[in-house]
Amino acid sequence: MRVFISIIFAILFVLSGSSSVSASMAMPQYGINEQTRECSKFFMGDECVSCTMPEGWQMIGVHLCPAGYKEIQKNSVCTPRKTSFCCTVSHSGARGDCEDVVVNDVEKKCAFVEDINKCSKLPTNWNQAGVIDFWGRVCPSHEYEWLEETLDCGAKIIEKNISDNQKNITDDKDKQERSSAIPIVGIFTVIIILLIILWFFLIRRKK
């Protein structure tokens, strides 16, 4: 009897612990394509993924394919969400948009940056989140505090690229100006030589 009661309490403990990180998953919905006379079941997302029907498909209010429609397997068009819940290890939703997660292991904090690919330098003690098996790049613990605001990069690669592009444009312009000046100098040189020859010819005729 004691063993039975212990098992019940253990199950209740597990259920209560998992409820704190659960995500409400939308029930699969059936959709049809009237042009192809096809029917499919679609995953419509949860707290971490927003999904829509593919083009040409529409949702129907029943959970079976209508008569005369062929049931196939068609995928929803899904977009992961960039939220702290979806980018923390052990969350119960689908995988979120977590490539821009950064972690401060010293202060036990997590945050998002606008675009990690444009960050050449992060503030002190901040690093891009490491990859955790199954979860990907996520905040490594529920004990870490999430910053409400987006973390600013110390420098941005895109700004450096703009500066380099402007420098290249200026260099190209200088080269073009130098190259266009060479023919003009040559023409003036020929004219001067012809004038000198003409001057000598006139002098000799006077003699």
Check residue 63 and give its pLDDT.
Answer: 81
> Residue with structure tokens 């100098």?
185
Judge contact between 86 and 21, C-beta under 8 A. Answer: no
pLDDT value of position 30: 93
What residues have CB less than 8 Å from 131, skipping those under 6 apart?
Answer: 137
pLDDT at 125 over 70: yes
pLDDT, one tens digit per residue, over 197-207 is: 877 777 766 65
Q: pTM of whole model > 0.75?
A: no
Q: Name the DSSP class of 144.
A: S
Report, as an integer, the average pLDDT of 107-111: 97
**Res 23 pLDDT > 60:** no
C-alpha neighbours within 13 Å on the C-beta side of residue 58: 7
Q: Which long-range contacts (CB under 8 A, 24 or more apart) does 145-151 make?
A: 145/108, 145/109, 145/110, 146/84, 146/88, 146/109, 146/110, 146/111, 147/109, 147/110, 147/111, 149/111, 150/111, 150/112, 150/113, 150/114, 151/102, 151/111, 151/112, 151/113, 151/122, 151/123, 151/126
pLDDT tens digits, 24-56: 455 678 999 999 999 999 988 889 999 999 999
